[in-house]
Structure 1
Amino acid sequence: MKQSILIAIILLMSHDAFADFLKFESVRYSPHDASQRMSWKKEEPPQTSRGFAVDMPTHTPPTYTPEEQRTIFSSGLLRLEEELAPYRKLIERTAESFGLEPSLVSAVIKAESNFSPKGVSYKGAQGMMQLMPGTASDMGVNNPFDPVQNIIGGVKYLKLMLQEFGNVKLALAAYNAGPERVKAVNRIPNIRETQDYVEKVINYEKLFRKIFPRDYAMNP
């Protein structure tokens, strides 16, 4: 009940009020030893007008007739909109406050938990953005099953990975496999799960762009 009330309050906030809320949450949940445990760089990487560079997948997609493409696309997009609807405003405002695109945040949530606030992976990752307990603690998340805390913590962590690597695909690989594995090879690790995850998120992001019609910076 408290969780539902909190989400309702956030959805009714003005943009400025929500920004103030995020500032409060960031201070309240500020980790004390995250820099020692996670070794994030301080310098900002080169950016595009609003986001980070990304090299898009180069494989050739399956060939469908125009009618098949319309059917597949429209049915899939409608399903995504339905899954997104309860959390759309929360995602939009959190993403904007951290300078990220809501399409990318939504794609990560879709790939991680399929928009399930109570999801738990076999490795122990929890909540909508599937935060591991250590990462959740670093991001100041006290209750990983609270959508508000989980999304704020997950977006904060995703932003840090983008700042660390300056590339969306590498940041997604780090989100999935851990930043140390990505830094060790300076590319997406040769881990099938991680490679599939990155491609899945990139493909979902393309679809979510249709739901969030904005000026996107995720260009090659």
Structure 2
Amino acid sequence: MHGPRRRPAYGVPVTDLRFEGRIVGVGTTSGTRLVVGMWARSPLGSFADVMVETGEGRRILLAPSREVADFIAGTYTFDEVRVLPVSWRKVDGGIAVTVGSTDSALGDDTLRLRLDIGPVSGLGMLLRLVPKAFATRPGWLGLINPVARLIVPGSATAGTAGGGRREYYGVTLARHITGLTAAFEGRDLGSLERLWPPVRFGFGSAPAAPTLVDVTTTIR
């Protein structure tokens, strides 16, 4: 479960936990904002999770297992945590995410989300200039964090992760989200909107412009 161990000068072991996958952040005209994590490789295996902040400011975590829920809730802040099946799949032109039952006939799904994925964004073009092996290093991400906050307001590449840990976001590619259909707890969330105001789960939000990013997250 643990990544490589190193010993800094003061003699305390350092453990890096790396999560490799994609994150999408979107707003909706209902005021509900969604952040979806789709992790191909992680210390917890392959999984997806959804963070929801309602228009009233209620923060809800939807996680596929108690192990995943406990880890994420120990890293970010939520008002409610629910353990439910979370799945995603590629569809024509985008991605579909389901939380709860995958059988629409049962009618008990918590979240249904369809995202239309567009071209690489201007930010994505900029990110391509940095070699991936370098772009995901915690040292580099800590160094560029002030610049990243200026370029993409509300976002961050380094910050606290609870329990005396640090977290680093190494984004290597970004694509526009061009449309969505979404329902949460049976309520239509409306159409695509900027992710604004920023979500309040952790030290940084996703970009305000609806975006899908390839990312390596390191927790140290």
Could you tell me the TM-score, scaled by structure 1's length? 0.25
User: Going by fraction, where is helix more abundant, 1 or 2?
Assistant: 1
Q: Which has the higher contact order (CA 8 A, sep 6+)?
A: 1
Could you tell me the TM-score, scaled by structure 2's length? 0.25
User: Going by fraction, where is strand more abundant, 1 or 2?
Assistant: 2
